[in-house]
Amino acid sequence: MAMLEVNDIHSYYGNIHALKGISLTVDKGEIVTLIGANGAGKTTTLKTISGLLHPRHGAIMLEGERIDGLPPHQIVMRGIGQAPEGRKIFGALTVLENLEMGAYARNDTAAIARDLDFVFALFPRLQERRSQLGGTLSGGEQQMLAMGRALMAHPRVLMLDEPSMGLAPVLVEAIFETIRKLNKEGTTILLIEQNAAKALQVASRGYVIETGQIVLQDSAENLRKSEKVRKAYLGEA
Amino acid sequence: MRRFSERLNLTDVIMFIIGALILLLVVVGSAATLYAGKYTTRQWLDLVVFGVALGSIYALIALGYTLVYGILRMINFAHSEVFMAGPFTAYFLADAMGKSGFLDQNLFVGLLIIFAVSMTVSTIVAILLERIAYRPLRFAPRLVPLITAIGASFFLQYFFRGLYGPNIKVYPEIAFLKNVIRIGDLNIQYLQVLVIAAAALMMIGLQIFIQRSRTGKAMRAVAEDKQTAALMGIDIDQIIVITFVIGGALAGAAGVLYALMFKQVNFIMGFIPGIKAFTAAVLGGIGNVPGAMVGGMFLGIIESIGPTLFLDGLNVPAPQQLKDAIAFTLLVLVLIFRPSGILGEKLAQKKA
Ligand SMILES: Nc1ncnc2c1ncn2[C@@H]1O[C@H](COP(=O)(O)OP(=O)(O)O)[C@@H](O)[C@H]1O
Ligand SMILES: [Mg+2]
A99 lines ligand 1 (CB under 6 A): no
Average pLDDT value over all residues in chain B: 88
- Asked if A165 reaches chain B (Cβ–Cβ under 8 Å), the answer is no
User: What is the model's pLDDT at position B312?
Assistant: 75
Backbone torsions φ then ψ of A10, nearest 5 degrees: -120, 125
Provide the domain limits for residue B224. Answer: 9-337
- A92 and B347 within 8 Å at the Cβ level: the answer is yes
Question: Residue A38 CA: which ligand 1 atom is closest?
Answer: 23
State how far the Cα of B243 lies from the Cα of B219, in Å rounded to an integer: 8
C-beta of residue B219 within 8 angstroms of C-beta of residue B243? yes
Q: Which of A218-227, B1-10, B317-326 has the lowest mean pLDDT?
A: B1-10
Predicted confidence band of residue A236 (pLDDT cuts 50, 70, 90): low
Task: Name the nearest CA neighbour of B80 among B304, B327, B229, B251.
Answer: B251
Phi, psi of B310 (to 5 degrees): -80, -35
Q: What is the mean pLDDT of residues B110-117?
A: 94
Task: Pick A1-79+156-237's CATH classification: 2.60.370.10, 3.30.420.10, 3.10.129.10, 3.40.50.300.
Answer: 3.40.50.300
Q: Does A143 touch chain B (CB under 8 A)?
A: no
Q: How far apart are CA B24 and CA B34, in angstroms?
A: 15
Task: Return the axis-axis angle of helices B214-224 and B236-262, rounded to nearest 10°.
Answer: 100
pLDDT of residue B307 exceeding 90, the answer is: no
Please check whether residue A67 is in contact with residue A36, taking contact to mean a CB–CB distance below 8 angstroms: no
Among A82, A47, A99, A109, CA closest to A188: A82
- Is A48 near ligand 1, meaning CB less than 6 Å away? no
Distance (Å, whole) CA B202 – CA B220: 19
Q: What was the pLDDT predicted at B317?
A: 77
Give the Å distance between the CA of A182 and the centre of ligand 2. Answer: 22
Render pLDDT for A23-59 as a digit per residue (tens, 0 to 9). Answer: 999 999 999 999 999 999 999 999 999 999 999 999 9
Residue B3 lies in a domain: no
pLDDT by residue (tens digit) across B131-171? 999 999 988 888 888 899 999 999 999 999 999 989 999 99
Instruction: Please state, in angstroms and rounded to a whole number, the distance separating the CA atoms of residues B70 and A83.
Output: 24
Count CB-CB contacts under 10 A for residue A130: 15
Q: What is the DSSP string of A143-168?
A: HHHHHHHHHTT--SEEEEESTTTT--
Separation between Cα atoms, residue B327 and residue B193, nearest integer Å: 24
A71 touches chain B (CB under 8 A): yes
Could you give the number of structural domains in chain B? 1
Is the model's pLDDT at B87 over the cut of 70? Answer: yes
- CB atoms A92 and B228 under 8 Å: no
Burial class (CB in 10 A: 0-12, 13-18, 19+), B343: middle
Q: Are B258 and B60 in contact (CB under 8 A)?
A: no
Tell me, what's the pLDDT at B6? 60
Residue B346 lies in a domain: no
Out of A124-128, B65-69, B267-271, B321-325, least confident range: B321-325
The C-alpha of A46 sits at a distance from chain B's nearest C-alpha, in angstroms, of: 11
**Separation between Cα atoms, residue A114 and residue A91, nearest integer Å:** 25
Residue with the smallest CA separation from ligand 1 atom 24 is A39
Asked whether residue B48 is domain-assigned, the answer is: yes
The pairs formed by B102-109 with CB atoms below 8 angstroms and a separation of 24 or more are: B103/B172, B103/B174, B104/B174, B104/B175, B104/B176, B107/B174, B107/B176, B107/B177
Summarize pLDDT for A167-189 with one digit per residue, the tens. 888 889 889 999 999 999 999 99
Sign of CA dihedral B15, B21, B22, B27: positive
In a domain, B25, yes or no: yes
Residues 6+ apart with CB under 8 A from B66: B281, B284, B286, B287, B288, B289, B291, B292
Residue B127, CA distances (Å) to B120, B139, B205 in order: 10, 19, 21
Task: Please indicate, yes or no, if residue B77 is contained in any of the structural domains.
Answer: yes
| pLDDT surpassing 70 at residue B190 | yes
How confident is the model at residue B346, as a pLDDT? Answer: 45
Domain assignment present for B200:
yes
> Quick one: which of B163, B2, B22, B188 has its CA closest to B91?
B163
What per-residue confidence (pLDDT) applies to B222? 96
B347 occurs within a structural domain: no
The CATH number that applies at residue B333 is: 1.10.3470
Q: Kindly list the domain boundaries of chain A, sorted by start residue.
A: 1-79+156-237, 89-154
The verdict on residue B1 lying in a domain is no
Band of residue B7 on the pLDDT scale cut at 50, 70, 90: low
Q: What is the pLDDT of residue B348?
A: 38
Spatial separation of the C-alpha atoms in residues A102 and B352, rounded to whole Å? 26
Whether A34 contacts A40, CB under 8 Å: no
Cβ A164 under 6 angstroms from ligand 1? no
Q: Which of residues 72-91 of A touch B (CB under 8 A)?
A: 72-73, 76-77, 82, 84, 88, 90-91
Q: Which residues, 6+ apart, have CB-to-CB distance to A149 below 8 Å? A: A83, A89, A98, A99, A101, A102, B232
Strand order in the sheet with A205-210: A80-83, A157-161, A188-193, A31-35, A205-210, A213-219
Mean pLDDT of chain A: 93
pLDDT tens readout for residues B18-33: 888 888 888 888 887 7
Residue A198: pLDDT over 50: yes
Q: Could you give the CA distance from residue A172 to residue A165 in angstroms, rounded to a whole number?
A: 8
CB-ligand 1 contact for A42 (6 Å cutoff): yes
- How high is the pLDDT of residue B289? 87
- ipTM of the prediction greater than 0.90, yes or no: yes
Residue-wise pLDDT tens digits, B291-304? 899 999 999 998 98
Q: Which range has the worst mean pLDDT, A126-130, A232-236, B43-47, B224-228?
A: A232-236
Instruction: Give, in degrees to the nearest 5, the angle at Cα B266 between B265 and B268.
Output: 120
Per-residue pLDDT, A234: 75
What separation in Å is there between the alpha carbon of A38 and the centre of ligand 1?
9
Q: What is the tally of helices (H) and strands (E) in chain A?
A: 10, 10
Contact in structure between A83 and A150 (CB atoms under 8 Å): yes
> Looking at residue A237, what is its pLDDT?
54
CB atoms within 10 A of CB B2: 6
Give the best residue of A73, A74, A76, A107 to mutate against chain B (max B CB count within 10 A). A73
Given this model, what pLDDT does residue A167 score? 87
Cα A9 to averaged position of ligand 1 atoms, centre (Å):
15
Return the pLDDT at B39: 80
Pocket mutation for ligand 1, best pick of A16, A34, A35, A53 (most atoms within 8 Å of C-beta): A16
Question: What pLDDT, on the 0 to 100 scale, is given for residue B350?
Answer: 40
Nearest residue by C-alpha to atom 6 in ligand 1: A13
- What is the per-residue pLDDT for A171? 87
Q: Is the pLDDT of residue A84 over 50?
A: yes
pLDDT at B2 over 80: no
Distance A20 CA to ligand 1 centre (A): 13
Residue B134's CB is within 10 A of a number of other CB atoms, namely 22
